[in-house]
Amino acid sequence: MSIKIQNELGDVSIDTDVVSTIAAFAAMECYGLVGMTYKSTRSGIAKILKGEHLSKGVEVKVEEAGVIVTLYVIIQFGTKISVVAENIIEKVKYNVENLTGLNVLEVNLNIEGVRVQE
């Protein structure tokens, strides 16, 4: 699915996969985040996504007024989850808005697991 933006110079079309990739890489820069995971871990074991597959841990929902970004993450054991979550939300919102020009309505964070980082 793509998002259409119109301005005085013409039309811009941004695919939701681009927004997912931007959000995933922004989140990975945050302290306390071990990695991204799939949206559903039915087996109880959260698998960390690597490289170009990071965007599979992000859902982008297009609304009329903007986008809603949902991330599925694994947090580092021993970090304060609320602080890490707040940092991830702020970084993702900032990067998506500045790189795409889209309005980010919400950034939802689903913590799928906690892992000891060695």
pLDDT at 40 over 80: no
Residues above pLDDT 90, as percent of the chain: 62
pLDDT at 43 over 60: no
The backbone torsions φ and ψ at residue 57, rounded to the nearest 5 degrees and listed phi first, read -95, 15
pTM over 0.75: yes
DSSP states along 39-57: S--TTS-PPPP-GGGGGGG
Q: What is the pLDDT of residue 118?
A: 63
For the chain, the maximum distance between any two Cα atoms, rounded to a whole number of angstroms, is: 51
Residue 110 in contact with residue 72, Cβ under 8 Å? yes
Q: What is the pLDDT of residue 115?
A: 84
